[in-house]
Amino acid sequence: MSKNTTLITGVLLAFSLGFYANTFKQNHQLRNEQAISNATKKSIKLGAFSISLNVKDLKTSKEFYEKLGFTQHGGAMEKNYVIMKNGNALVGLFQGMFDGNLLTFNPGWDENAKNTSKYDDVRAIQKHLKENNIKLSVEADEKTTGPGYIMLSDPDGNVILIDQHR
């Protein structure tokens, strides 16, 4: 009986060790695959987000957004644009400055137009997008530094402006 017990214990031990070794190997492979995937999917920092609206009447639009709880955060009526803010939400109202509406990102800024310590330069974002076969309608000059912008459209034709001010 002790021979059978020893034999069964040995088989169970071998099975358990094999099971745990295989599980360890699979988990290790999964972690390596995730690390490779994360390295190829670089997360880019686009900065503050706002919607930029092409409005017919700046005064009327400003009054409307004030009734929604927004306050003027930037811009000026005499310059034909104002930036409205409600919490973290930003809406830019622009009269006669561009056609259509834009999704806008500002690398290097937070939602209060304050400089952020870490951000991706618009030219680095441009390079990343081009490497990922994203067509740009307007490109930044890669030989420059500081302020610059790029424009692109999403698959549904929504125009995206990535506008760096510093």
pLDDT at 40: 44
For the chain, 166 residues long, give each residue's pLDDT as a single digit of tens. 565 555 454 544 555 545 555 554 555 455 544 443 443 457 899 999 999 999 999 999 999 999 999 999 999 999 999 999 999 999 999 999 999 999 999 999 999 889 999 999 999 999 999 999 999 999 999 999 999 999 999 999 999 999 999 9
Residue appearing with tokens 């003027």: 72
Report the alpha-carbon distance of residue 121 to residue 139 in Å, rounded: 13
Domain ranges of the chain: 1-41, 48-164
Provide the 10 A C-beta neighbour count for residue 6: 10
The answer as to CATH 3.10.180.10 being correct for domain 48-164 is yes
What is the pTM assigned to this prediction? Answer: 0.70
pLDDT at 43: 87
